[in-house]
Structure 1
Amino acid sequence: MKPDKDSARGLAQLEGFLLWNAEVEQARRQARRFTDQLPWLTTAQREDVERVFITERVAVSRESLTRIRDRAEELREEYTGRYARLRARCVAVSVGAVGAVTCLGTAVTLAIR
Structure 2
Amino acid sequence: MRRDGHRAPLDAPRHELADEAEGYLLAHSHRDQARREAEDLCARMPWLTTAQAEELTGHYVRRRLDVTLELLRGTVRRTEELREEYEGRYADLRHVLLRRHAACACAVLACAGGVSALTVLLTR
- Indicate the TM-score class for this superposition, using the shorter chain for normalisation: 0.7 to 0.9
* CA–CA separation in structure 1 for the residues paired with 2:103 and 2:75: 41
> Structure 2 counterpart of 1:89, which letter?
V
The match for 1:16 among 12, 15, 23 is 23
Structure 1: tracts of 5 or more residues without a match: none
Question: How do residues 84-95 of structure 1 correspond to structure 2 at under 5 angstroms?
Answer: 84-95=91-102
The match for 1:31 among 25, 28, 38 is 38
- Aligned position for 2:69: 62
What's the TM-score once normalised by structure 1's chain length?
0.86
Matched, 1:96 2:103: yes
* CA–CA separation in structure 2 for the residues paired with 1:24 and 1:103: 69
> Structure 1 counterpart of 2:119, which letter?
I
- Aligned position for 2:82: 75
> Structure 1 counterpart of 2:27, which letter?
W
Provide the aligned length of Structure 1 versus Structure 2.
109
> Structure 2 counterpart of 1:90, which letter?
L
> Structure 2 counterpart of 1:62, which letter?
L
Residues 9-63 of structure 1, C-alpha deviations (whole Å, 9 max, x = no match): 2222222112111111111111111111112212111111111111111111111
* CA–CA separation in structure 1 for the residues paired with 2:47 and 2:113: 94
Structure 2: tracts of 5 or more residues without a match: 1-11
- Aligned position for 1:108: 115
Question: Which runs of at least 4 in structure 1 moved beyond 6 Å after TM superposition?
Answer: none
* CA–CA separation in structure 1 for the residues paired with 2:98 and 2:19: 34
* CA–CA separation in structure 1 for the residues paired with 2:55 and 2:76: 31
What's the TM-score once normalised by structure 2's chain length?
0.79
The structure whose residues are more often helix, as a share, is: 1
> Structure 2 counterpart of 1:78, which letter?
E
Secondary structure at the counterpart of residue 13 of structure 2: helix
